[in-house]
Structure 1
């Protein structure tokens, strides 16, 4: 059998802690070895995650080895953002929860508003440990004009080139995202779904969810000022909404400039 390790010497030479009592030195060295093993696992997980991540905009969830959500974020480039999470320089000041990152999942998105909504919904649903938890978006703090605080249907670019994302936001706080094809193949069903959303009274179940509509109203007041949108109360029936949307989908300017329909 080899000689027992000199924990005091290891603590002094490796950790820079001199004069530690033998028992303390042993525990410090043991903790350092565990931490180094964790660092290697973290590094390997980061290499695998970043290798598989797309260079596309999206929302992501970092999870530990047991599947618990650690962090939710959004990015213009998922691969670049995840590489930043696992950069070697991050390890020294890493949060304990983030050191447990072992896997990731992501959803690619077509617009920053979709990313904002999906990120906020995931944070509310998963309550990840490493996120700074915030309450429901506050309209008073966002300085949103009253004229924009109303039911609205916003048309956004989709991650799928042949589709459009319909983002519905109700003044009571509810939101819905519906992907539909520009060809109109599924527009009849989706127009009915959108109309039901706006005509449904606020249920107790939806009242208990975080209200994300202020994110939409705030976005329209700033970065989304040029986004095409419809007032759902300007159409009487799902058939009318379907016709309005079909006309917009057929316009080549859609998603490049704000289109108005009267």
Structure 2
């Protein structure tokens, strides 16, 4: 497998809440006009549905605080006399919001939802209620994607209610129209189920009906297990197209061939897919690590990042007589100090500039020999270099600066921090914020890389470490067992899920006996991709993780770069505040 890898997906994939378990509140409003800014609500009707069953209804007339226009009375049958004794909207809102439960994960549904939602949001704003911002389903927009003009002449509520055979027909009264919308919603959800859209998250992402080619390829998921792990999509030649991970492999693979997939490049990829290889994993961390390794190894074209982790830049302090800072693409066992890896060459250059700001290291690339002096460059005139090239600085004197830079990279960056924050403070006092921001970016790049390198090196120094955490609970269930991982020199070498009642000592011993053997090497992450080791670190530092065994102490420099990470978040106000310290 490849030596280095970088993260692709940010979280371990979970497809979310099945629609059969969601609560929908279908709402309809009657109003005195079409604009929320100038019209008022005259009636609210709502129906609460869960699992296809009606679990509650809400209906009330509302005094709009203005005259009901004659054409509204003609359309709805609501007269001024009917709304005059009704409560005002400020008295109605609390009851409606409590019924709807929009801040408790309820999905709000309406026919032409922008109209109804617009009035409700305006009413909340006018009376100091916070709009809960729920997931909203517009049955008009959904019907336009799922019901063709060959089937219906238009997508009006009455037309769709007739098409789906809904018993409750709309009458331009709020509760009747909400009941009709319930029937239309159920008809639309049934069609969505045929396209493989069966969770709230897939419904939110749904943009259009899948193509015939997409629907035909759902068969690819037939033999994929409903288990956590990694999946590899392949083309007709067996070449990898895309690598991903999920807590439910079958459902995740199926989702690529439904209308919920809106990413253009992935829809393009789906047309090329001819097969899928599932890799079942015991734990979430194992799946994440396997995904990183597979992407680095097979370089699938439809994974946007991380296909070439071996090209990640590092900053190296060379080991010659007059060391210099060099941006390289590989870590070697040459005893040099390395900083990284960086996500871009630009970040590496910023970190190098930060070190050059603090230490008068040479920036030339030529070989220097005390017996063959050469002319000094302009940096010597500016006091930025001691000019060892022309003999002005001896190897012993130059080594003082090189040793200080080595210490800042691997142990204590205080000298870099003091130098650059002093410069930032000076520039900020003169309101030269753009220049100060440039120094901030250099310091941030250096500190981030130094902290990463020091953290990776600390874990990589441990020959063997065993840690455990409570296993993730299945949907709707309780946690069962423990996820146990064996890490050697920063590399994940074995994983397992220990069932309740198992003997921890025996389980751990079995894991360590069958774990992959690794040996120490050069650099901060010698035995695995740096991004893999960093992901292992994140897991080790997450809540609930317990360290079961460690062959050596796990320590980072007391005054290391982590101490200064807060300095990487300055904005202009933060830079200005430095002038008052």
TM range (shorter): 0.5 to 0.7
Q: Structure 2 matches for 1:78-227, cutoff 5 A? A: 78-88=249-259, 90=261, 93-95=264-266, 96-134=268-306, 135=309, 140=448, 149-150=458-459, 151=462, 152-155=465-468, 157=471, 165-171=484-490, 174-179=491-496, 190-192=511-513, 197=517, 200-202=519-521, 207=526, 210-211=529-530, 212-221=532-541, 224-227=542-545
Question: Which position in structure 2 is the counterpart of 1:232?
Answer: 550
Once the two structures are TM-superposed, the CA of residue 122 in structure 1 deviates from its matched residue by 1.0
**1:43 equivalent in alignment to 2:202:** no
User: What RMSD in Å do the two structures reach over aligned CA positions?
Assistant: 4.1
CA change 1:201–1:170 in 2 (3 A) is closer
Once the two structures are TM-superposed, the CA of residue 103 in structure 1 deviates from its matched residue by 1.0
Once the two structures are TM-superposed, the CA of residue 82 in structure 1 deviates from its matched residue by 1.6
2:230 is matched with which residue: 59, 77, 89? Answer: 59
1:191-217: per-residue Cα shift (whole Å, max 9, x none)? 3455x846x22289x958633211100
Distance 1:186 1:233 in 2: 18
Q: TM-score, normalised by structure 2?
A: 0.27
Q: Tell me, yes or no, if the aligned pair for 2:283 and 2:483 is still in contact at 8 Å.
A: no
1:91-128: per-residue Cα shift (whole Å, max 9, x none)? 79344334201111112223321221111111111111
- Structure with larger RCO (C-alpha < 8 A, sep 6+): 1
Q: TM-score, normalised by structure 1?
A: 0.55
Instruction: List runs of 5+ in structure 2 lacking aligned partners.
Output: 1-210, 313-339, 343-447, 473-479, 554-581
Question: Which position in structure 2 is the counterpart of 1:254?
Answer: none
Once the two structures are TM-superposed, the CA of residue 186 in structure 1 deviates from its matched residue by 8.1
CA change 1:145–1:138 in 2 (3 A) is closer
Q: Tell me, yes or no, if the aligned pair for 2:265 and 2:302 is still in contact at 8 Å.
A: no
1:77 is matched with which residue: 227, 248, 252? Answer: 248
Distance 1:170 1:92 in 2: 38
Distance 1:231 1:208 in 2: 20
Distance 2:509 2:278 in 1: 30
How many residues get paired?
188
> Residue 118 of structure 1 aligns to a residue in which SS?
helix
